[in-house]
């Protein structure tokens, strides 16, 4: 699985930091970015996948040895379950085949909300914090604004920007596309929240480190 701390190169991280600083130069809004490896462990999908894989392999083995009986099949499934479980743990993307689209959507959404509050984005002076949240395993992006932003900009406005960023990540243009997403967010924020003379930078411009477990 891709590591969050190494997904962007040092050069890309610096470009992203500069993009955030540039976007915030014309707005009192505060933009933060975060990358996590996954939004959930999806243990139920991992277990289901391991059971099905163990069952399938057990059938193949039993047929190959011409010894298909319930008394040989069940112990074989139990014996193969743990190696199959290790396989799903080693290659997390395999378990996504056993996770519904709605489950993935909700997992990323909930993790983004947790990150928003864990990182204190709700504490900005005018409630104008915004989080661009990237979950690598699911290849999904969630953009979340604070109450001050949501009063003037509909939350679903950010969907198009999030979709463009997600496509860029899948195509291998993560750094450039994230900079573009930051600029797009900054342009919209500047329309509704122009920078004030006494504005201060309340959130770090660098990509936020993830200290949350994925459960």
Q: Quote the pLDDT of residue 73.
A: 84
pLDDT in the model for residue 16 = 96
**pLDDT tens-place string over residues 82-118:** 999 999 999 999 999 999 999 999 999 999 999 999 9
Amino acid 65: pLDDT: 78
Cβ-in-10-Å burial (0-12, 13-18, 19+) of 41 comes to: middle
Does 4 score more than 80 pLDDT? yes
37: number of CA atoms within 13 Å, CB side?
A: 16
Beta-strand pair 129-135/30-36: parallel
Return the pLDDT at 212: 54
pLDDT value at residue 138: 94
Cβ–Cβ < 8 Å for 84, 54: yes
- Number of Cβ within a 10 Å radius of residue 43: 10
DSSP lists the bridge partners of residue 110 as none
CA pair distance 50, 199, nearest whole angstrom: 54
**Beta strands in 60-173, from DSSP E residues, in sequence order:** 129-135, 140-145
pTM of the model: 0.89
Beta bridge partners of 145: 130
The Cα 157–Cα 172 span in angstroms is 24
**Mean pLDDT, rounded, for 23-28:** 94
Q: If pLDDT is split at 50, 70 and 90, which confidence band does 215 have?
A: low
Confidence of residue 27 (pLDDT cuts 50, 70, 90): very high
pLDDT recorded at residue 210: 78
pLDDT value of residue 169: 92
Q: What is the pLDDT of residues 119-172, one digit of tens each?
A: 999 989 889 999 999 999 999 999 999 999 999 998 888 999 999 999 999 998
Tens-place pLDDT, residues 43-72 = 999 999 999 999 999 989 888 877 777 777
Q: Which two tokens stand for residue 209?
A: 């480190």
* Helix, strand or coil, per DSSP, at residue 35: strand
């Amino acid at each position: 699985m891709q590591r969050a701390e190494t997904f962007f190169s040092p050069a890309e991280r610096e470009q992203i930091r500069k993009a955030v600083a540039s976007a915030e130069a014309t707005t009192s809004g505060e933009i933060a970015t975060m990358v996590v490896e996954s939004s959930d462990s999806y243990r139920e999908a991992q277990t289901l996948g391991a059971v099905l894989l163990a069952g399938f392999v057990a059938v193949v083995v039993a047929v190959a040895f011409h010894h298909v009986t319930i008394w040989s099949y069940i112990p074989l499934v139990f014996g193969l379950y743990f190696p199959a479980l290790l396989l799903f743990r080693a290659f997390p993307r395999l378990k996504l085949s056993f996770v519904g689209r709605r489950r993935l959507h909700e997992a990323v959404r909930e993790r983004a909300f947790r990150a928003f509050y864990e990182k204190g984005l709700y504490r900005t002076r005018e409630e104008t914090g915004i989080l661009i949240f990237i979950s690598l395993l699911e290849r999904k992006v969630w953009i979340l604004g604070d109450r001050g932003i949501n009063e003037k900009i509909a939350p679903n406005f950010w969907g198009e920007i999030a979709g463009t960023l997600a496509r860029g990540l899948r195509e291998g243009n993560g750094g450039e596309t994230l900079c573009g997403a930051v600029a797009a967010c900054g342009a919209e924020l500047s329309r509704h929240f122009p920078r004030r003379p006494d504005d201060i930078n309340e959130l770090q411009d660098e990509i936020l480190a993830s200290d949350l477990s994925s459960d």
